[in-house]
């Protein structure tokens, strides 16, 4: 299994920042934060009591005891998650410098091979959602090295830690509730839900709110599994882009209609330009 190099993961903090900015604008929906939400805290000692109060609130909002037990038993305050959150840095690199670390010859070669291997699947996805395979494979490669590194943080523990932390408590409380709903409807078990430190999961890294809204069961197995199913992950990514206004047949480079849609995927312009660059290189090679 090919794994991304450290340099290939260097944009992680920037990506998380962009995703969190986008998530903070989401309207509260069916999994809205309860008005009874337990008070936040800034250190580990208060976490166990907060978690018990959070469980009671979630149960009152309709989450089953079975789901709560499966998802939150054994969850503890994660100092590593807080360290990542506090250590975020916004990169101000040029496109040339930033993209040179990510759009490597090895990644291009792998991407081209996957375009051929999944040609039939990608054609079906494009027919339904209007998003070219080159764009989806570019995102897939930059997010997780084509599914080779989806992240190692326990999603429930990461989200619970960030929901307890006062920095963005309401936002992550909402995402934690969304993650509980993913378990409740049977898409994945809590043990299967591992991803980035900010709660992003799957081969293309969805926050739980986006997972619920845009995740699709493209392989027809009855579950929307963005971690183990490449078909579900790529189709869900296309569904996200379509939902944000993707125009079939239009360009995606800066100044073209779909560049703004890619900014809905990630608000960091240098990262979006890198997606566009890789997708264009893949298209030119076809």
Residue where a domain terminates, one of 159, 182, 212: 212
Q: Which residues form the domain of 170? A: 7-87+151-212
Q: Which residues are catalytic?
A: 143
pLDDT of residue 284: 87
**pLDDT tens, N- to C-terminus, the chain (286 residues):** 333 333 344 445 455 545 555 444 443 343 444 445 678 998 999 999 999 999 999 999 999 999 999 999 999 999 999 999 987 665 567 888 888 889 999 999 999 999 999 999 999 999 999 999 999 999 999 999 999 999 999 999 999 999 999 999 999 999 999 999 999 999 999 999 999 999 999 999 999 999 999 999 999 999 999 999 999 999 999 999 999 999 999 999 999 999 999 999 998 899 999 999 999 999 987 7
Tokens of 147: 């599914």
pTM: 0.84
Q: What distance lies between CA 139 and its chain's CA centroid?
A: 11
Question: In terms of domains, do 142 and 182 share one?
Answer: no
Indicate if 15 and 70 belong to the same structural domain.
Answer: yes
pLDDT of residue 162: 98
Examine residue 133 and state whether it is found in any structural domain, yes or no. Answer: yes
Please report, for the domain that includes residue 68, its CATH number: 1.10.8.350
Query: How many separate domains does the chain show?
Result: 2
Answer yes or no: is 136 within a domain. Answer: yes
Rounded to whole angstroms, the Cα distance separating 139 from 133 reads 10
- Tell whether 160 and 83 lie within a shared domain: yes
Instruction: Give start and end residues of each alpha helix (H) in the chain.
Output: 12-23, 47-60, 65-72, 79-86, 95-100, 105-117, 119-129, 133-144, 155-164, 169-184, 208-214, 230-243, 259-265, 269-285
Model pLDDT, residue 10:
44
Of 212, 238, 263, the residue at which a domain comes to its end is 212
CATH number at residue 246: 1.10.530.10
């Amino acid at each position: 299994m090919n794994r991304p190099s450290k340099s290939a993961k260097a944009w992680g903090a920037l990506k998380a920042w962009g995703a969190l900015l986008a998530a903070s604008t989401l309207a509260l929906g069916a999994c809205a934060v309860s008005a009874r939400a337990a008070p936040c805290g800034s250190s580990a000692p208060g976490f166990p009591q907060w978690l018990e109060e959070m469980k009671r609130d979630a149960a009152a909002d309709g989450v089953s005891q079975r789901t709560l037990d499966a998802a939150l038993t054994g969850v503890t305050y994660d100092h590593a998650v807080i360290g990542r959150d506090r250590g975020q840095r916004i990169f101000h690199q040029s496109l040339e410098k930033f993209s040179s670390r990510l759009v490597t010859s090895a990644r291009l070669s792998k991407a081209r091979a996957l375009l051929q291997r999944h040609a039939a699947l990608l054609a079906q996805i494009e027919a339904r959602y209007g998003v070219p395979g080159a764009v989806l494979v570019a995102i897939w490669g930059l997010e997780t090295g084509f599914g080779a590194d989806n992240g190692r943080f326990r999603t429930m523990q990461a989200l619970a830690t960030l929901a307890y932390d006062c920095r963005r408590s309401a936002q992550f409380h909402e995402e934690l509730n969304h993650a509980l709903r993913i378990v409740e409807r049977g898409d994945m078990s809590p043990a299967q839900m591992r991803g980035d430190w900010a709660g992003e999961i799957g081969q293309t890294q969805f926050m739980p709110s986006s997972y619920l809204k845009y995740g699709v069961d493209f392989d027809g197995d009855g579950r929307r599994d963005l971690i183990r199913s490449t078909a579900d992950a790529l189709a869900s990514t296309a569904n996200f882009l379509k939902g944000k206004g993707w125009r079939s047949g239009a360009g995606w480079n800066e100044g073209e209609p779909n560049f703004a849609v890619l900014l809905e995927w990630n608000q960091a312009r240098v990262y979006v330009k890198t997606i566009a660059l890789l997708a264009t290189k893949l298209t030119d090679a076809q």
